[in-house]
């Protein structure tokens, strides 16, 4: 019998003994066991104890007690970054396998000690019950942006995150997936996704190296799908990050965000996927990462397809279980290939005075059109090193609102729009666009890139404009700093849409009684026609 088999046999005795509630130094009326392919998790009272199996699976090696101690400590170190209230510490287990003592030395085993939460609070389960709200996606994006922003970049001499490493990881999925699927249709689906992945890799190879040099490879969570995020106190908390293989967590931050995007798309909630993505991009300013987003979404879809195929091939699976796993695998393959090959660039610019509801419209539009939004109020402040909610203390026509600052802002919006359109995404530029020249530059950009173009002209009554501006100023929680004086100045200076502009403009009347002017507005029909968008 190998050492691994011997250790696993002893571990099973230990786990069996730990099913007795009297073994715990706290109240545990009953103990429940959850077994995965790499660990046992004992649910005892308010706590959970995870013991790593003494296995060598190639991508992980837990065969020695010291290795298990080390990886328990790594699991605590890594997951405390995002879930400090869940991950409590490493606890030694002494005594004998048949009579274990938690906290005793010398240790015969180690466990990760965690505070329990209800499995019903996992975001995948909540989403299935339609219990996830838009604010949860916004909060998750903010959490992830803060987390990524506080991480150090990979060392220059490390191999993590190189283009070659990314390519090898992507190819490994297909090499492991191919033997698991037998039918010609499934083999064809794998081949199609592999080909599309190779084409995308060739297009992105230079960008991968550029992003690595820019510091985008960081020690991330590594496994950010919805099943690894729980609502704790109504806040989404990522847990169960990857501790056993650093190559799987030292990744591009956009790879991490793409996993959640892919999962939401696969669960047929594209509006949530793009709400999360846009909130993350707005918080980080990492619009350059969109150039590799398609690759990473497809990569994560291939990973989950492989997991589903492995599950389908496991012995003891019921016919129904096997069929469900294979159907899941196929749906991931289809999603990955479609996301790589379906490019639908289009450009929408907003038009309207402060308080008209342009940002409310743009939020609804990005969810409906699966688009990337760029906000002038946010990017203007980013150009000057200010947070979105910061007060620039600029007066009308000066500071960050002077003529030169405004030109720089629109130039930045133009630059970002070009990059995003070239990546194949619909783009919404949320800005006032009260000057004909500003609108002309973006119309010409769309024409240059052969992308459909539309102006979303958002209108509201004078009373509504003033009421919203006063309310926004009182709440002081928006990137816009426009007050009544700014409104009056812009009203006098605005240049009306020309006849040729009206031809490509959809009007949205945004009054309070019209639910923000975005639900069922007549303008949506014209906007869809202008974008040749079928939704």
pTM: 0.94
In order of their start, the domains of the chain are 3-116 (3.30.200), 123-341 (3.90.1200.10), 346-530 (3.40.50.300)
Backbone φ, ψ for residue 453 (5° rounding) = -130, 140
Question: Strand pairing partners for 456?
Answer: 350, 506
Classify 26 as helix, strand or coil.
Answer: coil
pLDDT tens over the chain, length 535 residues: 456 666 788 999 999 999 999 999 999 999 999 998 899 999 999 999 999 999 998 888 999 999 999 999 999 999 999 999 999 999 999 999 999 999 999 999 999 999 999 999 999 999 999 999 999 999 999 999 999 999 999 999 999 999 999 999 999 999 999 999 988 999 999 999 999 999 999 999 999 999 999 999 999 999 999 999 999 999 999 999 999 999 999 999 999 999 999 999 999 999 999 999 999 999 999 999 999 999 999 999 999 999 999 989 888 889 999 999 999 999 999 999 999 999 999 999 999 999 999 999 999 999 999 999 999 999 999 999 999 988 888 888 888 899 999 999 999 999 999 999 999 999 999 999 999 999 999 999 999 999 999 999 999 999 999 999 998 888 877 788 788 988 999 999 999 999 999 999 999 998 764 444 554 568 999 999 999 864 4
- Which letter, b or e, does each residue of 369-378 get, where b requires 16 or more Cβ atoms within 10 Å of its Cβ? bbbbbbbbbb
Place of tokens 């590594």: 222
Across 145-277, the runs of DSSP E, i.e. the strands, are 217-219, 229-232, 235-238, 250-252
Classify 91 as helix, strand or coil.
Answer: strand
Question: Strand pairing partners for 33?
Answer: 42
According to DSSP, the β-strands at 229-232 and 235-238 are antiparallel
SS3 content of the chain, % helix, strand, coil (to 5): 55, 15, 30
């Amino acid at each position: 019998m190998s050492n691994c088999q011997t250790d696993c046999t002893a571990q099973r005795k230990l786990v069996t003994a730990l099913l007795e509630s009297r073994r715990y130094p706290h109240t545990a009326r009953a103990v429940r066991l959850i077994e995965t392919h790499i660990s046992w998790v004992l649910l005892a009272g308010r706590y959970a104890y995870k013991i790593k199996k003494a296995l060598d699976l190639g991508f992980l090696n837990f065969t020695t007690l010291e290795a298990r101690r080390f990886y328990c400590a790594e699991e605590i170190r890594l997951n405390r970054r995002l879930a400090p209230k869940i991950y409590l510490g490493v606890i030694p287990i002494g005594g004998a396998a048949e009579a274990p003592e938690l906290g005793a030395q010398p240790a015969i085993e180690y466990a990760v000690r965690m505070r329990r939460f209800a499995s019903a609070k996992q975001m995948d389960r909540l989403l299935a019950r339609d219990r996830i709200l838009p604010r949860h996606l916004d909060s998750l994006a903010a959490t992830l942006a803060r987390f990524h922003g506080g991480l150090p970049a990979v060392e220059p001499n490390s191999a993590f995150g190189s283009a070659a490493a990314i390519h090898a990881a992507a190819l490994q999925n297909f090499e492991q997936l191919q033997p698991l699927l037998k039918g010609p249709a499934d083999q064809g689906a794998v081949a199609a996704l592999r080909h599309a992945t190779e084409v995308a890799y060739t297009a992105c190879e230079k960008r991968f190296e550029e992003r690595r040099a820019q510091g985008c490879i960081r020690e991330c969570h590594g496994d950010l799908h919805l099943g690894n995020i729980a609502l704790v106190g109504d806040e989404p908390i990522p847990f169960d990050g990857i501790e056993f293989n650093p190559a799987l967590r030292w990744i591009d931050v956009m790879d991490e965000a793409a996993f959640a995007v892919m999962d939401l798309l696969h669960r047929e909630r594209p509006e949530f996927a793009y709400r999360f993505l846009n909130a993350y991009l707005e918080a980080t300013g990492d619009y350059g990462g969109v150039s590799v987003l398609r690759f990473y979404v497809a990569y994560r879809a291939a990973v989950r397809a492989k997991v589903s195929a492995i599950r389908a091939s496991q012995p003891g699976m019921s016919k129904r279980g096997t069929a469900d796993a294979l159907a899941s695998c196929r749906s991931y393959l289809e999603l990955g290939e479609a996301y790589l090959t379906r490019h639908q660039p289009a450009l929408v610019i907003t038009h309207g005075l402060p308080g008209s509801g342009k940002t409310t419209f743009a939020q609804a539009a990005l969810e409906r059109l699966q688009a990337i939004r760029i906000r002038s109020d946010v990017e203007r402040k980013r150009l000057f090193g200010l947070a979105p909610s910061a007060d620039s203390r600029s007066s009308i026509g000066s500071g960050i609102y002077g003529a030169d600052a405004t030109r720089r802002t629109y130039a930045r919006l133009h630059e970002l729009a070009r990059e995003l359109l070239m990546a194949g995404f619909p783009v919404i530029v949320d800005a006032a666009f009260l000057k004909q020249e500003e609108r002309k530059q973006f119309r010409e950009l769309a024409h240059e890139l052969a992308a459909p173009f539309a102006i979303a002209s958002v209108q509201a009554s004078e009373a509504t404009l003033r009421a919203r501006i006063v309310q926004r100023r009182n709440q002081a929680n928006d990137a816009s700093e426009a007050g009544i004086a700014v409104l009056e100045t812009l009203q006098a200076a605005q240049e009306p849409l020309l006849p040729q502009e009206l031809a490509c403009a959809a009007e949205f009347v945004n009054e309070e009684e019209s639910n923000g002017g975005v639900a069922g507005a007549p303008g949506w029909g014209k906007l869809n026609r202008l974008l040749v968008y079928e939704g």
